[in-house]
Structure formats: C-alpha cells, structure tokens
C-alpha cells in the first residue's frame, strides 16, 4: 500500500501503460486523477471506482499549456494537493527514415512526445513547491537511440534532459524528478491509434525495421509486458525510491537506449 493517502495524477491513462499504472496506484491505496484526451479514460476511472478506490477523470489536450494547467487546477480543486505526477503521454506517430518526414510531421511528433511532459511539469510544479514535497515521474523511451523515428527520439531525449535539469532545481524544494525509459512493449491493439491512416507497404517495411531493431537490442530478445513497464514507474513514484532523483531508468531488457 505504497500510495495510501497520496493523490496521484496519471496522464495518458485511457489505455496502455498509463491505464495499468493508474489501476495499480489505486490498488495500492492511492487516489488517482486520470487524464487523457480520449473519453475512454472515463471507463478506466469507472473500473477503478468500482473496485472501491477514489478516482476522477479529466479530459484535456496536454499538447497545450492550457490543458496542463486546467488538469492541475482540477486535481487541486478536487483533492487540495498533488503528491505525485506521472507523465505518460507520448508515442511515435510515424515510422520512417528522417529524410521522409515532412516539416509538419516533425512538429507533430515533438508536440506529442515532449510538450505534454514539459507543460505538465511546469503546471504541477508550483503546487508541489508550495507544499515543499512532490514526485514527478516522466515516462521517456530507450528509443533515443533507434531507427526510423528521429523526431520521436529527439522528443524523448528532451524528456531525459528535462528530468535531469529539473531535478537539480527541485531537490532543494523537497521534490524528486525521475524517469523510466521503456523499451518495446507488448500491448493490446490501441483503441485510439496514434496514426489512424492505414500503413502503406513501404511504411510497413519501415515499421518492421523498428520491431527487429528493438528485439535485437534487448538481451532477452523479446518485448516487455505492460506489467513490466508499470512496476518500475510505481517504484520510482513511491517512497521506496526516496533517495533517487535526476535518474532515467532504462526498462528495455538490457537495452540502455
């Protein structure tokens, strides 16, 4: 029960890693605020509430600072504090060699995989500073060293730098800032795909190159599971990691990213 009496905001909580993390936080006694721009997040919140935990959901676009500030204001209005923020929004939209990306696609990748974390850190920080306590866990990626997704890699590299730099500033204020860097993860098909357009034959080849490189880069030669990704996030968020800050923990089966 590591999260008893803790208010935990989980972004990207409608599916995948975010949903698993939110369920587990609740199972360990936490009060959870689930955020997403998909209304599927309401179903996850309802499942958690049905299990007896306290949960809320909030629809917002975290690619904007307004969306992030609205989310934190909602959590504060509902519960009066934010103990833990888990930033889980992000993910590759396209998979192709860099020379094939259009300018608007590069900008979309950065808006998707860097700005939600940047905005949410900024929006939550004043509330944590005021209390003199808090934990921020950013979900990065080992794909900072990978192929066919340079804009995504650059975005997650930014998340790593944000984690390290903010940890320097925040430690004296009683706030830890850490990250995990998931590798390839087996998950059910996304209910809301990042790219709704059907892959062309060439795009399918480029994506398979990612799968092959990801599998070969791990020592276990397989993808991880959602549970294997959620567990390190929960550890880093908990008091078990109270002397860890500024650290990006690779969770890629030995692939260091």
Query: Of 65, 74, 152, 223, which is the active-site residue?
Result: 152
Q: How far is CA 213 from CA 142, 145, 207, 251, in A?
A: 12, 10, 10, 16
**Distance (Å, rounded) from C-alpha 140 to C-alpha 155?**
9
Buried b (16+ CB within 10 A) or exposed e, 186-195: ebeeeeeeee
Of 115, 97, 95, the residue nearest 107 (C-alpha) = 115
Of how many residues is the chain composed? Answer: 257
Residue 243: burial class (beta carbons within 10 Å; 0-12, 13-18, 19+): exposed
Quote the radius of gyration of the chain (alpha carbons, Å). 17
Of 73, 87, 83, 125, the residue nearest 242 (C-alpha) = 83
Q: Is 101 designated active site?
A: no
Q: List residues with catalytic annotation.
A: 152
């Amino acid at each position: 029960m590591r999260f008893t009496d803790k208010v935990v905001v989980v972004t990207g909580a409608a599916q995948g890693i975010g949903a698993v993390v939110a369920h587990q936080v609740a199972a360990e006694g936490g009060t959870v605020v689930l955020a997403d721009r998909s209304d599927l997040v309401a179903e996850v919140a309802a499942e958690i509430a049905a299990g007896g935990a306290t949960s809320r959901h909030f629809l917002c676009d975290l690619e904007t600072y307004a969306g992030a500030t609205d989310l934190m204001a909602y959590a504060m209005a509902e519960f009066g504090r934010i103990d833990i923020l888990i930033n889980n929004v992000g993910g590759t939209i396209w998979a192709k060699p860099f020379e094939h990306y259009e300018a608007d696609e590069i900008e979309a990748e950065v808006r998707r995989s860097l700005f939600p974390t940047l905005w949410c850190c900024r929006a939550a920080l004043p509330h944590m500073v005021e209390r003199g306590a808090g934990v921020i866990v950013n979900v990065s990626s080992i794909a900072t060293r990978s192929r066919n997704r340079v804009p995504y890699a650059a975005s997650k590299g930014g998340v790593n730098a944000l984690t390290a730099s903010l940890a320097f500033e925040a430690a004296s204020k009683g706030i830890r800032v850490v990250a995990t860097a998931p590798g390839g993860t087996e998950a059910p098909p996304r209910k809301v795909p990042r790219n709704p357009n059907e892959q062309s034959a060439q795009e399918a080849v480029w994506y398979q190159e990612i799968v092959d490189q990801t599998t070969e880069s791990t020592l276990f030669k397989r993808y991880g599971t959602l549970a294997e990704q959620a567990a390190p996030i929960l550890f880093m968020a908990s008091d078990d990691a109270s002397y860890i800050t500024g650290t990006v923990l690779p969770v890629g089966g030995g692939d260091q990213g």
